[in-house]
Chains A and B, each alone.
Chain A
Amino acid sequence: MAHNKPIDEVSGTSTTGHEWDGIRELDTPLPRWWLWTFYACIAWSVLYWIAMPALPLASDYTRGLLGYSQRQVVQNQLAKAREGQSVYSDKILSTPLDQIEMDPELLEFALASAKSTFGDNCATCHGSGADGGQGYPNLNDDEWLWGGTVSDIHTTLLYGIRSENDETRFSQMPAFLRDELLTRDQVEDLANYVLSLSGRDHDGQAASRTASLYQEQCSACHGSDGTGSRLDGAPSLTDGIWLYGDSYSAIVKSISNMRGGMMPAWGDRLDPATLRSMAVYIHSLGGGE
């Protein structure tokens, strides 16, 4: 300390030498612990630049000596998780579909894993409680367009409905009015006949007028008694479940313009064990056969 710094008399601390209107600024030194922490942080950051991925380049980035990659860490974690689950997922692959429910441990695993898969992939259309909505089937009830056994459900999941998969479940209802297969009067009469099948309010005369028209145009898929056909994904017209509504106008609309939902083939997106768990999960929702 060769040079003589001005010292503030009251505090005994040196001042910066500046003076404003008689007020001098104290030159209180930084606390030593703070200063050392600061230096340590600088040293740390230099080492960090060298060791870890740090600087962005034009098309790449500096990799760092340690070669750390968050992407790789996630991959490893996923692989490890899969490995941990393999005890069960292998067993799910090797157990016949309808037997999985009978093994309490497998059932627990299948339900737990499928629940989150369902939430991620299926809830968008079928709802988080799988109770569907207009045009999206309720998976809790006992009406199944394409079959409700575990293996039926599994097939539907695997290939989808009217999807782009070659094996997809497929059927096509004619748009009777739009394509001018029937007249408007015929369609309206037919709607009354459909209402009569499940005992709903209808115009009896109109219904009896079109009994033969129904047999001619509809019975091939929906059956002569209206109970539907799972081969064609044709719903039963005799029960209390109506995917597009059970009002007269909704039915007229269905006959006029045809109906037919689309479901993607999940076989291309989810792994086999997950798909089997999903089939068990949906089957366990209560309507499974």
Chain B
Amino acid sequence: MNSKPGSVMDATSTASNNMVEAVDVEAVNRADDRHLFESRKAIHPKLAHGFFRRIKWAALVTMLGIYYILPWVRWDRGPSAPNQAVLVDFPHQRFYFFFIEIWPQEVYYITGLLILAAVGLFLVTSLFGRVWCGFACPQTIWTDLFIAVERLVEGDRNKRLRLDQQPWTMGKVIKKVTKHSTWILIAMATGGAWIFYFHDAPTLIKQFFVLEAPLTAYIFMALLTGTTYLLAGFAREQVCTFMCPWPRIQAAMIDEDSLNVMYRDDRGEPRGPHKKNESWEGRGHCIDCKQCVAVCPMGIDIRDGDQLECIQCALCIDACNGVMTKIDLPKGLIAYDTGKNFAARAAGQKQKYNLLRLRIAMYTAVLILVSSIMVFGLLNRTILELNIQRDRNPLYVTLSDGQVRNGYTVKILNKKSTERVFSLTVKGVKAARMRLIGFPEDQSPPLITVKPDSLRAVRVFITLPALEPGAFSLPVTFTATDIGDRTTAQTENVFVGGKP
């Protein structure tokens, strides 16, 4: 390794203000030192302490908790449906989410959900910058967890640097093996939790260990184990910088009123080491201790300004605030700030936070609109649907007595969790004779039993006397009526009896 971080080791100096340890660190991804073709330089982020670090721990515990525990939450849906609260049931083509149940033809709810997720992301980004990247993205969360494990096993930044430079000893081997096996265990738990969203979790876990689970379960478990281990253990910040499209897209969402993690260079510059009791006159508040660089998981220097690499995890804010407290200066040399405020301070004007902007209003409006449509759709979700497919081959059949017959496949969708019986009637054509395959001919109207939460397709034939010459088709209306609660579903179709 010929890069600077390797040579810095744990060298610390007390050049600045005796109370603050200045870290000898170079930002490995700093703006003026980026090369296209270059091996990754390892980043060993130092542990930060403070408000945002606590938020990140809380986000990590909450989100991983939800991810790992959710498949085990039960939700009673009666005997005809699974009792797993969140379940994507591919074999039976159902998606369950607590009280919501979605059939394949209702997949537009997923579209709605994706729109909500996207616009929500836009809204949050234009308000607070890359909070998604810094606090909520799975890549950030698992990387954070993996770094925490690394820190637990190998120690904080300085110890890790020293360990990497050491020759291989027994102790080093033990530490590395412990770290990697813990990583792999976490990765396996990650892949393991994923598959439980697609099968009944208690059943699957038993099958899983006696090797009776479906092959796909093992494949996806292996896949997610592998990606977690590689992406959180090794690729880390490279995923954000090189693989993820979001950093490129979100530039369009951020404006001069968006809050972003920024170094206030108007206050910090000119930077330089500072001795205790030295005057602050004529110099900036940045004492160049590089704590902000040391804690950065992305290996950048926030003082270089806005950078694509910055995920805005705000750990540099924590680090800098700690330093400012020690040297009795106000906090917030690095802080969430807006571009407009920089300009305002430069012009000697008052700072303003402008949350109510047009784009915010628009994103909010779209969010409210889409969620209203979804709530409305879910509340008014039909529990009975009638779909009719008319035979097209042949278009119609002429019978021996000259009458004309059309065939239809009638599909009744019973989305209730109880068995229902429907009567089927046809309106709109006079003297129509209806016949169903598999039903007694003397039953009029025919009574069709549909099992709970399922679809039944029935072949229906309608016979009419020959249409008048020149007539092509007649409109017909099918009605399915629940003979219990009298709810109905109607579908329009046509009866074809001649050449167009």
B397 CB contact (under 8 Å) in A107, A111, A138:
A138
With A107-B437, A107-B438 already in contact, the answer to whether A284 and B459 are too (CB < 8 A) is yes
Query: Within 8 Å of chain A (Cβ to Cβ): is B457?
Result: yes
B394 CB contact (under 8 Å) in A101, A140, A239, A240:
A140
Query: Within 8 Å of chain A (Cβ to Cβ): is B456?
Result: yes
A129 CB contact (under 8 Å) in B394, B401, B435:
B394
Write out the residue numbers on chain B whose beta carbons fall within 8 Å of the beta carbon of A203.
none
Write out the residue numbers on chain B whose beta carbons fall within 8 Å of the beta carbon of A287.
397, 399
Do A241 and B398 touch (CB < 8 A)? Answer: yes
Write out the residue numbers on chain A whose beta carbons fall within 8 Å of the beta carbon of B461.
286
Q: How far is the CA of A240 from the CA of B400 in the complex (A)?
A: 5
With A104-B456, A107-B438 already in contact, the answer to whether A131 and B393 are too (CB < 8 A) is yes
Number of interface residues of B (CB under 8 A): 18
Q: How far is the CA of A286 from the CA of B401 in the complex (A)?
A: 15
B437 CB contact (under 8 Å) in A101, A129, A236:
A101
Q: How far is the CA of A284 from the CA of B458 in the complex (A)?
A: 11
Query: Within 8 Å of chain B (Cβ to Cβ): is A188?
Result: no
Q: How far is the CA of A140 from the CA of B405 in the complex (A)?
A: 9
Q: How far is the CA of A101 from the CA of B405 in the complex (A)?
A: 20
Query: Within 8 Å of chain B (Cβ to Cβ): is A143?
Result: yes
Q: Closest CB-CB distance, B376 to chain A, in whole Å?
A: 35
Do A239 and B393 touch (CB < 8 A)? Answer: no
Number of interface residues of A (CB under 8 A): 25
Q: How far is the CA of A129 from the CA of B459 in the complex (A)?
A: 15
B399 CB contact (under 8 Å) in A127, A141, A284, A285:
A141
Query: Within 8 Å of chain A (Cβ to Cβ): is B273?
Result: no
Q: How far is the CA of A241 from the CA of B391 in the complex (A)?
A: 21
Q: Closest CB-CB distance, B230 to chain A, in whole Å?
A: 16
Q: How far is the CA of A107 from the CA of B402 in the complex (A)?
A: 29
Q: Give per-residue flags for A103-147: 1 if the beta carbon is below 8 A from chain B beta carbons, else 0.
A: 110011001000000000000000111110000001011110000
B400 CB contact (under 8 Å) in A103, A108, A143, A286:
A143
A141 CB contact (under 8 Å) in B391, B393, B400, B435:
B400
A286 CB contact (under 8 Å) in B393, B397, B402, B456:
B397
Do A131 and B400 touch (CB < 8 A)? Answer: no
With A107-B437, A284-B437 already in contact, the answer to whether A142 and B399 are too (CB < 8 A) is yes
Do B398 and A131 touch (CB < 8 A)? Answer: no
Do B456 and A236 touch (CB < 8 A)? Answer: no
Q: How far is the CA of A127 from the CA of B394 in the complex (A)?
A: 9
Do A131 and B438 touch (CB < 8 A)? Answer: no
With A101-B437, A108-B457, A286-B407 already in contact, the answer to whether A141 and B401 are too (CB < 8 A) is no
Q: Give per-residue flags for B377-395: 1 if the beta carbon is below 8 A from chain A beta carbons, else 0.
A: 0000000000000010110
Q: Closest CB-CB distance, B273 to chain A, in whole Å?
A: 40
Do B437 and A239 touch (CB < 8 A)? Answer: no
Do A239 and B397 touch (CB < 8 A)? Answer: no
Write out the residue numbers on chain B whose beta carbons fall within 8 Å of the beta carbon of A103.
438
Q: How far is the CA of A127 from the CA of B395 in the complex (A)?
A: 13
Write out the residue numbers on chain B whose beta carbons fall within 8 Å of the beta carbon of A107.
437-438
Write out the residue numbers on chain B whose beta carbons fall within 8 Å of the beta carbon of A141.
397-400, 405
Write out the residue numbers on chain B whose beta carbons fall within 8 Å of the beta carbon of A104.
438, 456
> Which among A108, A140, A236, A241 has the highest number of chain B CB atoms within 10 Å?
A140
> Which among B400, B407, B457 has the highest number of chain A CB atoms within 10 Å?
B400
Q: How far is the CA of A287 from the CA of B401 in the complex (A)?
A: 12
Q: Closest CB-CB distance, A119 to chain B, in whole Å?
A: 11
Write out the residue numbers on chain B whose beta carbons fall within 8 Å of the beta carbon of A128.
393
- Could you list 29 A-B pairs, sorted by A, with CB under 8 Å? A101-B438, A103-B438, A107-B437, A107-B438, A108-B457, A129-B391, A129-B393, A129-B394, A131-B393, A131-B394, A138-B394, A140-B407, A141-B398, A141-B399, A141-B400, A141-B405, A142-B399, A143-B400, A236-B400, A239-B400, A239-B401, A240-B401, A240-B402, A241-B398, A284-B437, A284-B459, A286-B407, A286-B435, A286-B461
Known: A138-B394, A138-B397. 17 other contacts (CB 8 A): A107-B438, A108-B457, A129-B393, A129-B394, A131-B394, A140-B397, A140-B405, A142-B400, A143-B399, A239-B401, A240-B399, A241-B400, A284-B459, A285-B407, A286-B405, A286-B461, A287-B399
- Residues on B facing A (Cβ under 8 Å): 391, 393-394, 397-402, 405, 407, 435, 437-438, 456-457, 459, 461
